[in-house]
Structure 1
Amino acid sequence: MNHDIVWHQHKISRSERAGLKNQGPCLLWFTGLSGSGKSTIANALDIALFQRGYHTFLLDGDNVRHGLNKDLGFSYDDRVENIRRIGEVSKLFADAGLIVLSAFISPFTDDRRMVRKLFPAGEFIEVFMNTPLETCESRDPKGLYSKARSGQIKHFTGIDSPYEIPSHPEITLDTSQLSIEECVENLLQYLKERNLILDS
Structure 2
Amino acid sequence: MNDGPCRPGGTVLLTGLPSSGKTTIATATRHRVADAGYPVEVLDGDDVRGRLWPELGLTRADRGQNLGRITTLALMLAGHGVLVLVAAIAPYAADRELMRARHDEAGLDFVEVHIATALSACEQRDVKGLYGRRLRGELTQLTGVDAAYEEPLLPHLRIDTTVESVAESADRVLELLIRRGLFTAPVSGPQP
Q: Is the 8 A contact 2:78 2:108 kept in 1?
A: no
Does residue 54 of structure 1 match 2:32? no
TM superposition score normalised by structure 2: 0.90
Q: Is the 8 A contact 1:149 1:159 kept in 2?
A: no
Alignment map for 1:66-145 (pairs within 5 Å): 66-120=50-104, 123-145=109-131
4+ residue segments displaced more than 2 Å: 19-22
Q: Is the 8 A contact 2:79 2:108 kept in 1?
A: no
Change (3 A) 1:193 1:137: same
Identity %: 36
Q: Distance in 1 between matches of 2:112 and 2:132?
A: 28
TM superposition score normalised by structure 1: 0.86
Q: Which deviates more from structure 2 when the two are superposed, residues 36-45 or residues 111-120?
A: 111-120
Match of 2:163 among 159, 173, 177: 177
**Cα distance, 1:65 vs structure 2:** 1.8
Q: Could you list the runs of 5+ residues in structure 2 that have no partner in the other structure?
A: 187-192
Q: Is the 8 A contact 2:45 2:70 kept in 1?
A: no
**Cα distance, 1:76 vs structure 2:** 1.7
User: How much is the aligned-residue C-alpha RMSD, in angstroms?
Assistant: 1.6
- Structure 2 counterpart of 1:63, one-letter code: D
Per-residue CA shift, 1:56-80, capped at 9, x if unaligned?
0110122212322222122221111
Per-residue CA shift, 1:132-184, capped at 9, x if unaligned?
00000011112211211232111110111111000100011010000011001
Q: Which deviates more from structure 2 when the two are superposed, residues 96-105 or residues 143-152?
A: 143-152
Q: Distance in 1 between matches of 2:36 and 2:115?
A: 24
Q: Corresponding residue for 1:198? A: 184
Q: Could you list the runs of 5+ residues in structure 1 that have no partner in the other structure?
A: 1-16
**Cα distance, 1:37 vs structure 2:** 0.1
Count of equivalent residues: 183
Greater C-alpha Rg:
1
Per-residue CA shift, 1:94-118, capped at 9, x if unaligned?
1001100000001000110110001
